[in-house]
């Protein structure tokens, strides 16, 4: 079936099987390979994307369920080719990664946290990234990266743009109680397309 997905601010269309996960659709249909498959059962967080600004496991969501939401992948964070966002740059500064495989999800989880608060405690950062497993770093330099990014964003004194062109409107649509439930509720609409 056909889906029209708003990904990183642009509407992208594809024919997908109803059973195809958002993860597979992002990678195979839209060639956004920065989103990675880790466990494919919702534990490791490597496939994390933002749905209306909230971290979601794209391996547990069908592509058709994502219709109508603002999807942000790691490719949507860099302001321009070759230019890093503050959070991405902070991960480089503290070496908050090694093999890079969990990094996309980790940075998106951090991005979501830092849209809620720019003064997170260490515990809040640990909580925010606790759904993302990293086997390389032991999390120390990841937490430092988030602290460093928060500090820079606090001091930047500039407005921080929302992801994507529909973000402002998407905020009104954002489900209150978790994206998955909301996505399920939305399924008939998606199928009707």
Q: Of the two residues 140 and 178, which places its CB atom closer to other proteins in the complex?
A: 140
Start-to-end Cα distance in the chain: 8
Q: How far is the CB of 189 from other proteins (least distance, A)?
A: 25
By CB under 8 A, name the one of 22, 55, 94, 170 that touches other proteins: 94
By CB under 8 A, name the one of 6, 27, 57, 163 that touches other proteins: 27
Tokens 């056909």 sit on residue: 2
Segment 109-128, which members bind other proteins (CB under 8 A)? 122, 125-127
CA–CA separation, 127 vs 124, rounded Å? 5
Residue 19 contacts other proteins per CB under 8 A: yes
- Decide if 109 contacts 102 (C-beta within 8 A): no
Q: How far is the CB of 141 from other proteins (least distance, A)?
A: 6
CA–CA separation, 66 vs 69, rounded Å? 6
* φ and ψ of 97, to 5 deg: -170, 165
Q: Of the two residues 125 and 170, which places its CB atom closer to other proteins in the complex?
A: 125
Tokens of 3: 């889906």
Residue 151 contacts other proteins per CB under 8 A: no
Give the CA-trace dihedral at 131, 159, 68, 177, to 10 degrees.
50
Q: How far is the CB of 80 from other proteins (least distance, A)?
A: 11
- Decide if 105 contacts 73 (C-beta within 8 A): no
By CB under 8 A, name the one of 102, 167, 170, 183 that touches other proteins: 102
Name the site residues for other proteins (rule: CB under 8 A): 17, 19-20, 27, 32-41, 43-44, 46, 73-75, 77-78, 84, 88-89, 91-95, 97-104, 107, 122, 125-127, 129-143
């Amino acid at each position: 079936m056909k889906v029209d997905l708003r990904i990183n601010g642009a509407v992208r269309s594809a024919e997908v099987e109803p059973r195809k996960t958002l993860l597979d659709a992002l990678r195979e249909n839209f060639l956004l390979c920065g989103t990675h498959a880790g466990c494919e059962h919702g534990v490791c967080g490597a496939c994390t994307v933002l749905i209306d600004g909230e971290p979601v496991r794209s391996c547990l969501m069908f592509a058709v369920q994502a219709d109508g939401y603002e999807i942000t992948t790691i490719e949507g964070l860099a302001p321009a080719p070759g230019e890093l966002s503050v959070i991405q740059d902070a991960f480089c500064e503290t070496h908050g990664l090694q093999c890079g495989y969990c990094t996309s999800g980790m940075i998106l989880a951090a991005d979501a946290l830092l849209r809620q608060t720019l003064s997170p405690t260490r515990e809040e950062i640990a909580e925010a990234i606790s759904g993302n497993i990293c086997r390389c770093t032991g999390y120390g330099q990841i937490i430092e990266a988030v602290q460093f990014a928060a500090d820079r964003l606090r001091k930047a004194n500039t407005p921080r743009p929302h992801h994507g062109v529909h973000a402002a409107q998407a905020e009104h649509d954002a489900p209150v109680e978790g994206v998955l439930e909301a996505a399920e509720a939305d399924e008939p609409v998606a199928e009707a397309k």
